[in-house]
Chains A and B, each alone.
Chain A
Amino acid sequence: MSWKAIDRNQPVIEKDAAPVLSEAVREKIRSFFPRYETKRAVLLPALHIVQNTLGYISWQAMAEIAEILEIHPADVMNTTSFYTHFWTHPKGEKVVTVCRSISCEAMGGAKMLDTIKKELGIDEHGTTKDGRYSLVTEECLAGCDHAPCLLINEKMHKCVKAEDIPTLLADVDNNKLSMPRSDLFDPPSEKQAASATMQDSVVGTTSDVSEMREAE
Chain B
Amino acid sequence: MAAFEPVLLRNRGVEGSTTLKVYESRGGYQAVRKALKQTPDEIVAEVKKANLRGRGGAGFPAGVKWGFLPKDRKKTLLCVNGDESEPPTFCNRVLMEHDPHQLIEGTIIAAYAVQAQTVYIYLRGEFHEQFHIVQKAVDQAYAAGYLGKKIFGSDFSIEMYLHRGAGAYVCGEETGLIESLEGKRGWPRIKPPFPAIEGAFRLPTVVNNVETLSCVPHIIERGADWFTGIGPAHSAGPKLFCISGPVKRPGCYEGAMDITVRELIEREDMGGGMIDGKHVKAVFPGGCSMGILSADELDMKLDFDDPRNFGLLGLGTAAAVVIPHDMDMRVVLRNMARFYGTESCGQCTQCREGTAWMHKIATRIAADAGRPEDLDVLLETARNMGMMPGLSICGLPDGATFPIETTVKKFRSELEEYILAQPKGRAEYLLRVLN
Contact = CB atoms under 8 A, between A and B. Distances in A.
B336 interface: yes
A147 B183 contact: no
B90 A142 contact: yes
A137 B133 CA distance: 25
A202 B249 contact: no
A145 B90 contact: yes
A85 B125 CA distance: 7
A43 interface: yes
Contacts of A106: 245-246, 321-324, 327
A208 B251 contact: yes
Interface string B151-189: 000000001011111111100000000001111111000
B126 A141 contact: yes
B341 to A, nearest CB: 11
Interface string B122-148: 001111110111011001100000000
A42 B85 contact: no
Nearest to B135: A182
A205 B161 contact: no
B279 to A, nearest CB: 13
A182 B130 CA distance: 11
B168 A84 contact: yes
B346 to A, nearest CB: 9
Listed residue (B181, B245, B327) with the most chain A CB atoms within 10 angstroms of its CB: B245
B17 interface: yes
Interface string A96-140: 010011110111000000000000000000000000000000111
A44 B164 contact: yes
Contacts of B132: 177, 179-182, 203
Contacts of B244: 103, 144-145, 147
Nearest to A76: B183
Interface stretch (B28-36, B62-70, B92-100, B424-432): B92-100
B113 to A, nearest CB: 22
B294 interface: no
B40 interface: no
A211 to B, nearest CB: 9
Interface residues of B, number: 80
B339 interface: yes
B303 to A, nearest CB: 22
Contacts of B164: 44-45, 48, 185
Contacts of A151: 126, 128
B183 A40 contact: yes
Contacts of B125: 83, 85
Contact of B97 (A37, A140, A153, A204): A204
B252 interface: yes
B260 interface: no
Given A142-B93, A144-B250, A208 B88 contact: no
Nearest to B126: A141
A78 interface: yes
A145 B251 contact: yes
Interface in A63-99: 69, 78-79, 82-86, 97
A61 to B, nearest CB: 15
A204 B94 contact: no
Main secondary structure of the interface of B (DSSP, over half): mixed
Contacts of A205: 97, 129
Contacts of B94: 207
Interface in A2-54: 35-38, 40-45, 47-48
Contacts of B85: 139-140, 142
B232 interface: no
A142 B335 contact: no
A193 interface: no
Contact of A142 (B92, B140, B168, B185): B92
Interface in B200-251: 200-201, 203, 242-246, 248-251
A190 interface: no
B88 A101 contact: yes
A84 B166 contact: yes
Contacts of B38: none
Listed residue (A141, A142, A202) with the most chain B CB atoms within 10 angstroms of its CB: A142
Interface string A156-174: 1000000000000000000
B15 A154 contact: no
A152 to B, nearest CB: 11
B44 interface: no
B183 A142 contact: no
A101 B339 contact: yes
A86 B165 CA distance: 10
Contacts of B322: 106
Contact of A138 (B126, B139, B184): B126
28 contacts: A37-B200, A37-B201, A47-B166, A82-B185, A100-B335, A101-B88, A102-B88, A102-B339, A106-B245, A106-B321, A106-B324, A138-B167, A139-B85, A139-B343, A140-B85, A140-B89, A140-B339, A143-B90, A145-B251, A177-B128, A179-B132, A180-B132, A200-B21, A203-B136, A207-B12, A207-B93, A208-B13, A208-B251
Given A82-B186, A144-B242, A198-B136, 11 more contacts: A35-B161, A40-B183, A101-B339, A107-B245, A139-B339, A145-B252, A155-B129, A178-B129, A182-B135, A198-B139, A207-B12
Interface of B: 12-13, 15-19, 21, 84-90, 92-94, 97-98, 124-129, 131-133, 135-136, 139-140, 159, 161-169, 180-186, 200-201, 203, 242-246, 248-252, 284, 288, 319, 321-324, 327, 331-332, 335-336, 338-339, 342-343, 345
Lowest 6 A-B CB distances belong to which pairs? A43-B183, A140-B87, A83-B166, A154-B128, A144-B88, A182-B135
